[in-house]
Amino acid sequence: MIRIHACRKAYRGRDGQPGVLVLDGLDLEVEKGEFVVVLGPSGCGKTTLLRIVAGLTRWDSGEVLVNGRPVTGPSPDCGVVFQDFALLPWATVADNVAFGLELRGVGRRERLETAERLIETVGLKGFSDHYPRELSGGMQQRVGLARALSIDPANLLLDEPFGSVDALTRRLLQEDLLRLHFETRKTVLLVTHSVDEAVRLGDRIVLLSPRPARVVEVVDTALPRPRPAHLGTNSRFASLKEHLWDRIRTMPGIRAWGEAALDGHHADG
């Protein structure tokens, strides 16, 4: 469960330059077991918002609660998956997955048993002794997801986790994430600039404005779970994408959204 109320964040300017207001009184709630997607243009403050929830970035004013407790720093309540994988290059897949458990003082045998189970869960059985350099981008991201799950967090925070992989791998990873969410019922907060991804994954979509980020609209997707593999024939899926794109194109400065939004709008169904 995540609660954000009137959250404001600005970065100070350097060498006499004016500061940058990133979040401007933002409100957001994610209920237990819910999958919420924050959709917004690059640079609007999505990653900053996620880092605030994860306890990695301090905000200026407002209230941020995770599982009813104020956020004061990184917490085992939250597992984080980054876009750039952030794996330890010198460690094996098993040791990468078990890293969070090692930091918590869990014995090697127990943490490697947990790692092996999660490695199989994310479809990497047989790769425990491989190193990140020996894996494809999609495989590396599966390792990152397994690592986030290793501490059994109540909440999963995902920062454009599939932005660094090709379109086919992205779709497969989306299906993996949907399956894991359905099986574990963890609370998920994911940020993206892809309209297609937002509708494909979320229970609700929180649409943000260009910087400084404000909530423009919250959309209930009302799509079934488990999600069917082929949503392209679902009229609700298509109408949601059209609706979101209509809202996006009327935003001031929306040309800064770039090609990613167009790709998300016209992505295969």
pLDDT in tens, 164-213: 788 888 888 898 899 889 988 999 999 998 999 999 999 999 999 988 99
Rounded Cα–Cα distance for residues 50 and 57 (Å):
9
Give the dihedral of Cα atoms 95, 97, 101, 107; nearest 10 deg: -40
**Domains of the chain and CATH, by start:** 2-77+153-266 (3.40.50.300)
Predicted confidence (pLDDT) at residue 241 exceeds the cutoff of 80: yes
Residue predicted with more confidence, 268 or 241: 241
154 contacts 76 by C-beta, under 8 angstroms: no
Per residue in 218-233, pLDDT (tens digit) is 999 999 888 877 777 7
- Name the pTM for this structure: 0.88
Predicted confidence (pLDDT) at residue 260 exceeds the cutoff of 50: no
Q: For residue 82, what pLDDT band results from cuts at 50, 70 and 90?
A: confident
Predicted confidence (pLDDT) at residue 257 exceeds the cutoff of 70: no
Beta strands at 155-159 and 187-192: parallel, antiparallel or unpaired: parallel
- What is residue 253's predicted lDDT score, i.e. its pLDDT? 67
In this prediction, residues 233-246 reach a mean pLDDT of 90
Predicted confidence (pLDDT) at residue 108 exceeds the cutoff of 50: yes
Predicted confidence (pLDDT) at residue 269 exceeds the cutoff of 60: no
Q: Is 212 helix (H, G, I), strand (E, B) or coil?
A: coil
- What is residue 268's predicted lDDT score, i.e. its pLDDT? 36
**Mutual angle of helices 137-150 and 108-121, in 10-degree steps:** 130
Q: Dig out the tokens for 123 from the structure.
A: 């479809």
Q: For residue 265, what pLDDT band results from cuts at 50, 70 and 90?
A: very low
Instruction: Indicate the range of 71-75, 227-231, 256-260 predicted with least confidence.
Output: 256-260
Predicted confidence (pLDDT) at residue 25 exceeds the cutoff of 70: yes
In this prediction, residues 61-71 reach a mean pLDDT of 95
81 contacts 158 by C-beta, under 8 angstroms: yes
How many Cβ atoms sit within 10 Å of the Cβ of residue 268?
9
For residue 65, give Cα distances in angstroms to 10, 29, 96, 188, 262.
Answer: 19, 10, 29, 15, 34
Per residue in 156-165, pLDDT (tens digit) is 999 988 887 8
Rounded Cα–Cα distance for residues 155 and 79 (Å):
6
Rounded Cα–Cα distance for residues 49 and 7 (Å):
9
Q: For residue 264, what pLDDT band results from cuts at 50, 70 and 90?
A: very low
Predicted confidence (pLDDT) at residue 252 exceeds the cutoff of 80: no
199 contacts 241 by C-beta, under 8 angstroms: yes
Per residue in 129-138, pLDDT (tens digit) is 999 999 998 8
